């Protein structure tokens, strides 16, 4: 059975990363690790480590992106919780077998990681990202 290892990050939807960063960096003194473009999701993501986890600021890079629609519908704020696992395929198979609703039945592979999302209807209203670090 797959193990949950830690909270990897909390994703926060923002309209603009440059406008959102000063609170986190100047106000709270967090250090910006890096910013990356996620072309597949039409978004830009800023990573701010805190302990063993990150705060992840996510902003749309296109008006037709999922994140842009989310911001129009729900506004800025917590978007998702990400939990790291040692076996994402096993965890997804187990959740599916138990009848939980998945957004991704197979993980999305990115350099250094695999991820998949569990639908908020199965989690009590929280978009849950499952995440496995790969080598």
Give the DSSP H/E element, type plus range, for residue 95.
helix 88-97
Mean pLDDT of 98-125: 96
Render the burial of 49-82: b for 16+ CB within 10 Å, e for the rest.
eeeeebbbbbbbeeeebebbebbeeeeeeebbbb
Name the strand (E) or helix (H) holding 93.
Answer: helix 88-97
pTM, two decimals, is 0.92
What is the pLDDT, as a whole number, of residue 84? 98
Nearest of 93, 100, 97, 131 to residue 113 by alpha carbon: 131
Whether residue 111 has pLDDT greater than 90: no
Enter the tokens of residue 124: 């009590």
pLDDT in tens, 66-101: 999 999 999 999 999 999 999 999 999 999 999 999
Domains of the chain are 4-133 (3.10.180.10)
Cβ neighbour number for residue 95 with a 10 Å cutoff: 19
Mean pLDDT for all residues in the chain: 96
pLDDT surpasses 90 at 40: no
Q: What is the pLDDT of residue 135?
A: 83
pLDDT at 1 over 90: no
Confidence of residue 117 (pLDDT cuts 50, 70, 90): very high
- Overall average pLDDT of the 26-30 stretch: 97
Predicted local distance difference test score (pLDDT) of residue 50: 97
The fraction of the chain above a pLDDT of 90, given in percent, is 94
């Amino acid at each position: 059975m797959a193990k949950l290892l830690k909270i990897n990050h909390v994703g926060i939807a923002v309209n603009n990363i440059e406008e959102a960063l000063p609170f986190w960096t100047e106000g709270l003194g967090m250090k910006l690790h890096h910013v990356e473009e996620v072309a597949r999701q039409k978004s830009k993501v800023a990573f701010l480590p805190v302990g063993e986890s990150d705060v992840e600021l996510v902003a749309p890079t296109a008006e037709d992106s999922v994140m842009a629609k989310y911001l129009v519908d729900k506004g800025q704020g917590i978007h998702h919780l990400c939990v790291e696992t040692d076996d994402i395929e096993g965890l997804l198979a187990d959740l599916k077998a138990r009848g939980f609703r998945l957004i991704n039945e197979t993980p999305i592979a990115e350099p250094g990681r695999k991820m998949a999302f569990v639908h908020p209807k199965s989690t009590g209203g929280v978009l849950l990202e499952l995440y496995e670090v790969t080598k």
